[in-house]
Amino acid sequence: MTMSLAAVRLDEVELPLVEPFETSFGVEHHRRFLLVRVETKSGLEGWGECAAASDPLYSSESVATARWMISERLVPILFRLPKPTPEAFLRDAARYRGHPMAKAAVELALHDLRAREAGQSLSKLLGGQRKRVCVGVSVGIQASVPKLVDRVGHYLEAGYGRIKLKVRPGWDVRPVAAVRREYPEVELWVDANQAYPTRALAQIRAWAEKNEVAQVEQPFAERAIRAHAELARNARFRVCLDESIVDESSLEDALGARALTSLNVKVARVGGLSIGRTIARRAARAGVPSWMGGMLESGVGRAHNIALASTPPFVLSSDLSASDRYYHEDITDPPFVLGPRSTIEVPRGPGIGVEVNDRVLRKHRRSSRTYRP
Ligand code: OSB
Ligand code: MG
């Protein structure tokens, strides 16, 4: 039984990335993000991470909007709840529209708290059945094609069994062909983050099939469901939706339109673990496989993602790479490392199963505010 909360802390952290991460919408050198720490009267804690970035480029939320939403609207909800369970929180937060990343950050912390109180791993509480999750690596846009081939080689040597290339108009035909030529056997996915106009459909199909791309992720705009359905029709690759799927009804409509043959689940995008689990199960019932997407999370968000990815609907390899692919020094211990056959071990300890390293957190923390009832 979850006890009422004594404090909520909101930290802003800035972690330098091992290398810049460039997508069709921009380049990041650091990741700036919020951490939510809830604490009960008995001294138990729960951690959640907010995936919103400095700028609203992937979606409409940013660190600033999430900070406002969490501190001004969601923290008061938490302090009004007699039992701060994820379900009770989501029920009260539902009257506010949007802000899924802000809501997810808080919901994640409550899931971690509940699992720690139960003395069980979050994976187990969510119905996880795998000891290891299958992972791949998402490779950003590079300065040149040779540089890209070099980075891909580096990740293959490290043991990653699947490569996702970020693409955009002008960074597609040549880089994808070069990687395929150099690594004839590699499992290759591409992700455009909505960068293509729907009139590019035939060209995308042509270069994807020519280079044996196994999956094309979100080439068109969030609302372009018909175009994704058209691309998926008779395609030799899976069409994956990321940004288009923001809740249960957008998934229902996309499934009805046959607009996806793979689902990228991000707890941040859909407003938490509970909804993430629900949509992954719904997709599985429709015969659509799921996998966990990533938002370059620190160890806190990564641990939550790995817990959900250990549940049955997650059958494709996830964008959950080892800690050292993102950060020289992560804020949690122990680091996530790549294991055999391109897998990462699911932590077995209580809650998310990793601990926040206070020394590292303080070193990279830009601000910290504590709220009390
Ligand atoms: O679309 O999957 C995406 C990172 C930031 C924003 C959007 C995306 C990504 C990634 C990174 O692809 C995946 C990861 O965390 O490894
Ligand atoms: Mg994506």
HEC assignment per residue over 325-363:
HHECCCCEECCCCCECCCEEECCCCCECCCEECHHHHHH
What's the first-to-final CA gap in the chain, in angstroms?
A: 20
124 C-alpha to center of ligand 1: Å?
A: 26
Each residue's pLDDT tens digit, 198-217:
999 999 999 999 999 999 99
Q: What is the mean pLDDT of residues 8-13?
A: 98
Pure H helices in the chain: 63-68, 75-80, 86-93, 100-118, 122-125, 145-158, 173-182, 201-210, 225-232, 248-256, 267-270, 273-285, 299-309, 323-326, 358-364
Is-catalytic flag, 266?
Answer: yes
Cα–chain-centroid distance for residue 270? Answer: 10
Contact 355, 6 (CB under 8 A): no
pLDDT 10s digits, 133-177 = 999 999 999 999 999 999 999 999 999 999 999 999 999 999 999
Whether the CB of 293 sits within 6 Å of ligand 1: yes
Exposed/middle/buried for 92, CB within 10 Å: 0-12, 13-18, 19+? middle
Kindly tell me if the per-residue pLDDT of 235 is higher than 80: yes
What is the pLDDT at residue 3?
73
List the structure tokens of 262. 């793979």
Instruction: Please report the pLDDT score of residue 38 as a whole number.
Output: 98
> How far apart are the CA of 100 and the centre of ligand 1, in A?
17
Position 260 pLDDT exceeds 60: yes
The pLDDT, as a whole number, for residue 1 is 55
Question: Interior CA angle at 276 toward 273 and 278, to 5°?
Answer: 110
- Tell me the CA distances in angstroms from 109 to 164, 300, 339, one per residue in order: 29, 10, 27
Which DSSP category does 118 fall into? H
Q: Cα(240)–Cα(262) distance, rounded to whole angstroms?
A: 4
The finding on whether 193 has its CB within 6 A of some atom of ligand 1 is yes
Q: Whose CA is nearest to atom 7 of ligand 1?
A: 295
From the candidates 103, 164, 166, 210, which is the catalytic residue? 166
Residue nearest to atom 8 of ligand 1 (CA): 295
Is the distance from the beta carbon of residue 242 to the nearest atom of ligand 1 less than 6 Å? yes
Query: How many angstroms separate the CA atoms of 74 and 295, rounded?
Result: 22
Q: Per residue in 86-116, pLDDT tens?
A: 999 999 999 999 999 999 999 999 999 999 9
DSSP codes, 154-193: HHHHHT-SEEEEE-BTTBSHHHHHHHHHH-TT-EEEEE-T
**Which of 306, 319, 324, when mutated, tests ligand 1's pocket best, judged by the most ligand atoms within 8 Å of its CB?**
319
The predicted structure's pLDDT at residue 181: 98
**Catalytic residue flag (residue 41):** no
Q: How far is residue 328's CA from residue 277's CA, in Å, rounded to a whole number? A: 31
State in Å: Cα 243 to ligand 2 middle. Answer: 7
Nearest CA to ligand 1 atom 4: 295
Residue 335 scores a pLDDT above 90: yes
Residue 244 Cβ inside 6 Å of ligand 1? The answer reads no
Tell me the average pLDDT of the chain: 97
* pLDDT, average across residues 286-299: 98
Q: How many CB atoms lie within 10 A of CB 143?
A: 9
Residue type at 324 in one-letter notation: D
Residue having the nearest C-alpha atom to atom 9 of ligand 1: 295
